[in-house]
Chain A
Amino acid sequence: MRMLALALLFAAAPAFAQSNVPQAELAWKQLPDPAREAEARALMEELRCLVCQGQSIADSDAEMAGDMRALVRERIAAGEDAGTVRAWLIERYGDYVSYDPPISSASAPLWIAPLVLLLVGAVIAARSFRRRRG
Chain B
Amino acid sequence: MRRWLLWLPLVAFVALAAVAVHGLYRPNDLTVRSRLVGKPLPDFALPPLIEGRPGVSQADFATGAPRLLNIFASWCVPCIAEAPHLLRLKAAGVPIDAVAIRDTAPAVRDFLARHGDPYARIGDDPRSAVQFALGSSGVPETFVIDGQGRIAMQHVGPINEADVPRILQALEDAR
A64 to B134, CA, bound (A): 14
Count of B interface residues, CB-CB < 8 Å: 24
How many Å from the CB of A67 to the closest CB on chain B?
4
Which A residues from 39 to 95 make CB contacts under 8 A with B?
50-51, 53, 63-64, 67-68, 70-71, 89, 91-94
Q: Indicate whether A28 reaches chain B with its CB closer than 8 angstroms.
A: no
Q: How far is the CA of A125 from the CA of B101 in the complex (A)?
A: 61
| B102 engages A92 (CB within 8 Å) | no
CB–CB A19/B73 < 8 A: yes
- Interface residues of chain B, those whose CB is within 8 Å of chain A, are 30, 32-36, 73, 75, 101-104, 107, 126-129, 131-135, 137-138
Task: Evaluate whether A50 and B32 lie within 8 angstroms (CB atoms) in the complex, with A19-B75, A93-B137 already known.
Answer: yes
- Which of A19, A94, A96 sits near B102, CB closer than 8 Å? A19
With A19-B73, A67-B127, A70-B127 known as contacts, the answer to whether A50 contacts B137 (CB < 8 A) is yes
**Least Cβ distance of A112 to chain B in Å?**
15
Residues of B within 8 A of A21 (CB): 102-104, 126
The residue of chain B having its C-beta at the shortest distance from the C-beta of A18 within the complex is B75
Query: Could you tell me the distance between the alpha carbons of A92 and B137 in the complex, rounded to whole angstroms?
Result: 10
Q: Is B102 within 8 A of A71, CB to CB?
A: no
Q: How far is the CB of A100 from chain B (nearest CB, A)?
A: 17
Tell me if A20 counts as interface (CB < 8 A to partner B): yes
Cross-chain contact A94 with B127 (CB below 8 angstroms): no
The 5 A-B residue pairs whose C-beta atoms are closest, nearest first, are A92-B135, A19-B102, A50-B137, A67-B128, A21-B102
The smallest C-beta distance from B94 to any residue of chain A, in angstroms, reads 25
Closest to A48 in B: B32
Write the nearest CB–CB distance from B59 to chain A, whole angstroms.
20
Query: How far is A97 from B34 in the complex, measured between Cα atoms in Å?
Result: 11
Give the distance to chain B from A80, nearest Cβ to Cβ, in Å. 14
Q: Known A18-B75, A21-B104, A71-B132; judge A92-B127 contact (CB<8 A).
A: no
- Candidates B75, B104, B129, B135; contact of A93 at CB < 8 Å: B135
Contacts A18-B75, A20-B75, A20-B104 known; A92 to B34 CB distance under 8 Å?
Answer: yes
In the complex, are the beta carbons of B101 and A19 less than 8 A apart?
A: yes
**Residues of A with C-beta under 8 A to B129:** 67, 71
